[in-house]
Structure 1
Amino acid sequence: MYQFLKPYFFVLLLFSIVTGVQGQPGRIVFDTVAPLTGTGHSTNELSGITLQPRTNLFLTVSLQKPLSWYLQQMAPQLSVDSLSAVGNYQFNFYIDGRLIYHTELWPGAPRPQQQQRDTLWTKPLIDNQHEGTWWSQSAWNRFMYNGGDSALTEGRHTLRLVLRPYVNRGQLIVGDIIAEGSVVLDVNRQPKIDLATISLTPVKPYNGLAVSSDAFDRNRIKQLKAWIDAGVFRHVTSIVVLKKGKILVEEYFNGNGRDSLNDTRSVGKSFASTLTGMAIRDHYLESVTTRLGSKYALQQFAHYSAAKAAVTVRELLTMSSRFDGNDDDMHSPGNEENMYPTDDWVKFTLDLPMDTVKYTGQWHYFTAGVMLQGSLLHQLIPGGLESYADKNLFRPLGITHYQWQFTPQQAPNTAGGIRLRSLDLAKYGQLYVNRGRWNGRQVLPEHWVKESFTHQLPIPGRTNEYYGYLFWNKTYSVKERAMEAWYCTGNGGNKVFVFKDPELVVVITATAYGQPYAHPQADRMMTEYILPAVIGSGP
């Protein structure tokens, strides 16, 4: 019997040694304010917090040992310095006793020195004034996106947060609890609004755009405006609606105004499509079937192959080339984050290997390919792309105030980032509603608008969503009416929606960069407020 129990006693003894050193799990306390500079920890321990849209939430963690100590118990063969490359904290979020979500923080944040030293630290879960600054906020945002938002309904809930160490060397190993804490949350994220106190901004004409006299549900837009001001919808900076080419709604938020230039990130990719259509019309580019091998001496770049030479303009416009680049895969060699630190983005892209197995015409989000398309136009058009765009696109639309970002080679960066006023973004959308015409002039070939707004490829993982020529496509269902939208979209929740039936353009600008709620938030504003308000008459 002793021999049978010997392994059990050995495990129990080892467990006792480890837990004897570790002691009881550390504590987590919650507060709504950051600690005073230099204190290192919160001065309050709140048992209850009212969670409203603009409430901040900080946690202070006290550990028995630094994180690296716990990691070394799990991987004793590794040095302290190498542990931070394979291990970190696992965050476990419970609501009312039910595990909603757990996430392993990526190695590297917190930094190795902090993992080896700190037994007391404070970080924000929610910091409305510095959103997206800390890794702890990313963990909270992932929790909210993966079930937390629906679990935290209005009313009282208990949030319990549990920290465990983990090591992943091809196999995930999760340790015992090293810190935990709970707080009661009185959730009030949907404040009651007195619509009688809310007024909409009077709409005025704008260069090239008259004011619409069409009726719309003003109370629904007032509710939306109030909830943006209250922070229910976060970091929204403007909403503009054109109906039949006239301004119906125009509201600004969070310090933005009619003259503000919006950093709409990848919304700018669609401009590469527009300028490609113009360049083909003006014979600077032969067609969408033009191959890279006819424009670049590809033998001078790494990983030359016939497949690389055969990449077409159409494949760049539809994000379906065989370049091994996917921004949705952090390990992809062509991920945009690998491009930005280099001093020659074109070389970076043309040096990429090809993947003729993974990509055989499938859509994959490839920012570097859109940059390459813009740089190709910049190379082919006399005087460069900036001057060409100003003469052929912006001036005809009456757009005089905008800012390009540029690549290291000083080509306009069609990967994204061009800044425009909200009403000028609306003009750009209206150009497509008008099938390429503006003030009686065919600014963009009508056939190009049609090709751009064609279901070129399905978007993997999305039902009934498609991609055209650097435009996205989806269908909204509002008031039992299906409404097909073609749209530009950019990080932070920036959108330019184009509807043919009814003739609408909707612009949403926002600065929720890197936040998982940004795009779902824009969809919710569209389906619950903007579209229901403007497709029918109202008070």
Structure 2
Amino acid sequence: MKRMLLLLTGLFSIIASAQIKDLYVTEGIINELHRFNIGKVTFMEGNIPLDKYKKSDFLKSYALSQKSDLNIRVFMDNSVANYLHRLAPALPAEELMKKGNLQFSFYVDDTFIYKENIHHGCNFGSGGNKNTSTTFRVPFTSTKGEDWWAMYMWDRFKANGGENALSDGMHRLRIEIRPYINNNNTITTGELIAQGGVELIIKTSKITAKEIAVQPINPGSGWEVSELPYDKKKIEALNLDIANYTLKEITSIIVIRDGKLMLEEYFNDAGRNTLHDTRSAGKSFTSTLMGLAITDGYIKNEKQTLDTFYDLKQFANYEARKDSVKVADLLMMSSAFAGSDSNNDSPGNEENMYPTDNWVKFTLDLPMDPAKTNGGQWDYFTAGVVVLGDILNKTIPGGLEKYADEKLFKPLGITKYQWQYTPQHVVNTAGSLQMRSLDYAKYAQLYKNNGIWNAKQLLSSDWVQKTLTMQIQIPGRDNQFYGYLFWNKTYSYKGKNHEVFYCAGNGGNEFIIFKDLPLVVIITSKAYNKPYGHPQADRIVGEYLLPAVLN
């Protein structure tokens, strides 16, 4: 009797679900392949376009390695939005899309490993249309430089048991997908939408002696080579952990000691001429250019306020506090704008800025945060650095790009680099200024030299000292501070503290300037949006480089 009641309950649920009218007209069943594979998660190598995708492309087995392109293509009979509507028919459409999405469950050899309710902002289909798309493709692994939520989910699956489950040998991976709604912290999960599996062949690559050995410094670096001794076994241990992927996606490590090149190593297909995208590490260059512009008289000083550059009454949400925002407030990430990159709901979050057609207007249109005072509290705010770039570009004759080349890059001997640009084709001072690792080292060494390069005072020593000063504490981080678009922290080794200032960018990219040691360290990495990016950079310095140099 109990079993009969459960069957009837399930049947009524299916009938009720089927009677709920869809919110959106979907794109329907795309083709015959779709028709015969509704409800399936299929696996493929790389991104095979849907119109070229054939059943013969479905992977039955796949050799998974650190450099692979494992993708899934999912065939559904409806769209994500309509599935969510069935779960919560009383919720308005806009609420559905803020409270729900898909749930992925991972099984290895029929053992449940990991489940994730993906963020409501994760998109699907061409153009990311969750309202109408009935099929979608996402990569779990990629060698193509893709940056997808699915790849981070795959990393979390591996970190939460997947790595151990996928030991050497053959394993069956199965994926199950369901819709979910999180309404007032109550999660409701729907029926199975799609499932599928693939046999994964796992074979750990053999690490060669060449991969472990300290890499020789080839001629033509532009640096005098250091002859000081260091513990090569520590560097070999570092190289081993990069080769076996204990330290992930590292592309280069440079060590400058006493102004000379001690270590120059490249990994994961990078080399001396690779231009690295170090993301927000490029923000620090904005501080440098501001210091140069103040010295040259284009900017009075960092206490100059926004109202001297803009008629802020012409922008939305005007109030007098906007007028009094100082250049220094933007350099220290301490303005009162309602902008916080650490808060997804913040109006000024950088992800809200990028889709707009004018990033400066976006920023100056923002309201002020009633809980903040200018110069009062640190809060990471990318859009404010864009405004600094605009101020420099409009104030300096000939524009910022030409000025940077003539006043900074050419004097440092930096000739190969690549800017990104804003929609107004102004250089993007918020980040992604790509350079070679040895050129990043020149930039960091300039600060170590107190602004001197080739016996010439290139950057004011006063500006260097202001920049490398604990201007404001970073909330939530013990004994960590911020200067003028430079970070601050301390390494401890053998009971002694070593303070550093550094440039930092998404993925674990860091240019590190030691205050008490004659060291500059450059670490470049592609671990973008990975939780291990910066912690593993700290590990490289604390567990390998400092012991190698100081012992």
Q: TM-score, normalised by structure 1?
A: 0.81
Moved more, 313-322 or 173-182: 173-182
| Equivalent position of 2:454 in the other structure | 439
Q: 1:419 aligns with which of 434, 437, 441?
A: 434
Q: Distance in 1 between matches of 2:540 and 2:107?
A: 28
- Secondary structure, counterpart of 2:292 in structure 1: helix
| Equivalent position of 1:241 in the other structure | 255
By how many angstroms is 1:283 displaced?
2.8
Q: How does 1:444-483 map to 2 (within 5 A)?
A: 444-483=459-498
One-letter amino acid of the structure 2 residue matched with residue 74 of structure 1: L
Q: Distance in 1 between matches of 2:511 and 2:185?
A: 43
| Equivalent position of 1:18 in the other structure | 13
| Equivalent position of 1:270 in the other structure | 284
**Does residue 261 of structure 1 match 2:275?**
yes
Alignment CA distance shift 1:481-1:16 (3 Å):
farther
| Equivalent position of 2:20 in the other structure | none
Q: Distance in 2 between matches of 1:41 and 1:507?
A: 46
Give the number of equivalent residue pairs.
522
Identity of aligned residues (%): 44
**Does residue 494 of structure 1 match 2:509?**
yes
Moved more, 225-234 or 251-260: 225-234
| Equivalent position of 2:379 in the other structure | 364
* Aligned residues of 2:172 and 2:199 also touching (Cα < 8 A): yes
Alignment CA distance shift 1:255-1:95 (3 Å):
closer
**Does residue 531 of structure 1 match 2:526?**
no
Deviation string 1:443-487 (CA, Å, 9 cap, x unpaired) is 222232222122222223333322111011222234554332211
Q: How does 1:322-361 map to 2 (within 5 A)?
A: 322-358=336-372, 361=376
By how many angstroms is 1:300 displaced?
1.6
By how many angstroms is 1:306 displaced?
1.0
Deviation string 1:310-339 (CA, Å, 9 cap, x unpaired) is 101111001110111122233322222333
Q: Distance in 2 between matches of 1:509 and 1:196?
A: 21
By how many angstroms is 1:235 displaced?
3.8
Alignment CA distance shift 1:180-1:483 (3 Å):
farther
Q: Distance in 2 between matches of 1:281 and 1:498?
A: 23
Q: 2:523 aligns with which of 508, 532, 535?
A: 508
| Equivalent position of 2:28 in the other structure | none
- Secondary structure, counterpart of 1:268 in structure 2: helix
**Does residue 88 of structure 1 match 2:104?**
no
By how many angstroms is 1:223 displaced?
4.1
One-letter amino acid of the structure 2 residue matched with residue 398 of structure 1: G
Moved more, 494-503 or 92-101: 92-101
| Equivalent position of 2:88 in the other structure | 75
Alignment CA distance shift 1:62-1:239 (3 Å):
same
* Aligned residues of 1:84 and 1:108 also touching (Cα < 8 A): no
**Does residue 386 of structure 1 match 2:401?**
yes
By how many angstroms is 1:292 displaced?
1.0
**Does residue 406 of structure 1 match 2:421?**
yes
* Aligned residues of 2:294 and 2:300 also touching (Cα < 8 A): yes
Q: CA-atom RMSD, angstroms? A: 4.0
**Does residue 300 of structure 1 match 2:320?**
no
Q: Distance in 2 between matches of 1:480 and 1:50?
A: 46
By how many angstroms is 1:421 displaced?
1.8
One-letter amino acid of the structure 2 residue matched with residue 492 of structure 1: G
- Secondary structure, counterpart of 1:530 in structure 2: helix
* Aligned residues of 1:235 and 1:511 also touching (Cα < 8 A): yes
Alignment CA distance shift 1:475-1:325 (3 Å):
same
Q: Distance in 1 between matches of 2:324 and 2:318?
A: 11
* Aligned residues of 1:269 and 1:414 also touching (Cα < 8 A): yes
By how many angstroms is 1:505 displaced?
1.2
Q: Distance in 1 between matches of 2:164 and 2:300?
A: 55
- Secondary structure, counterpart of 2:333 in structure 1: coil
By how many angstroms is 1:90 displaced?
1.6
Deviation string 1:410-432 (CA, Å, 9 cap, x unpaired) is 43321112222211110111111
| Equivalent position of 2:235 in the other structure | 221
One-letter amino acid of the structure 2 residue matched with residue 209 of structure 1: W
One-letter amino acid of the structure 2 residue matched with residue 344 of structure 1: N
By how many angstroms is 1:154 displaced?
6.5
Deviation string 1:42-82 (CA, Å, 9 cap, x unpaired) is 74556xx8865345555576779875665343223469999
* Aligned residues of 2:358 and 2:423 also touching (Cα < 8 A): yes
User: What stretches of structure 1 of length at least 5 have no aligned partner?
Assistant: none
- Secondary structure, counterpart of 1:262 in structure 2: coil
Q: 1:53 aligns with which of 66, 87, 90?
A: 66
* Aligned residues of 2:474 and 2:480 also touching (Cα < 8 A): yes
**Does residue 285 of structure 1 match 2:299?**
yes
Q: Distance in 1 between matches of 2:100 and 2:143?
A: 30
Alignment CA distance shift 1:149-1:431 (3 Å):
farther
Deviation string 1:336-355 (CA, Å, 9 cap, x unpaired) is 23333333322222111111
* Aligned residues of 1:502 and 1:535 also touching (Cα < 8 A): no
Alignment CA distance shift 1:478-1:151 (3 Å):
farther
Q: Distance in 1 between matches of 2:207 and 2:420?
A: 40
* Aligned residues of 2:500 and 2:512 also touching (Cα < 8 A): yes
- Secondary structure, counterpart of 1:357 in structure 2: coil
Q: Distance in 2 between matches of 1:114 and 1:384?
A: 42
- Secondary structure, counterpart of 2:524 in structure 1: strand
Q: Distance in 2 between matches of 1:381 and 1:246?
A: 34
Q: Distance in 2 between matches of 1:20 and 1:34?
A: 39
Q: Distance in 2 between matches of 1:149 and 1:487?
A: 34
Q: Distance in 1 between matches of 2:405 and 2:386?
A: 18
Alignment CA distance shift 1:101-1:362 (3 Å):
farther
Q: Distance in 2 between matches of 1:158 and 1:476?
A: 43
Moved more, 302-311 or 479-488: 479-488
Q: Distance in 2 between matches of 1:434 and 1:338?
A: 39
* Aligned residues of 1:491 and 1:514 also touching (Cα < 8 A): yes
One-letter amino acid of the structure 2 residue matched with residue 272 of structure 1: T
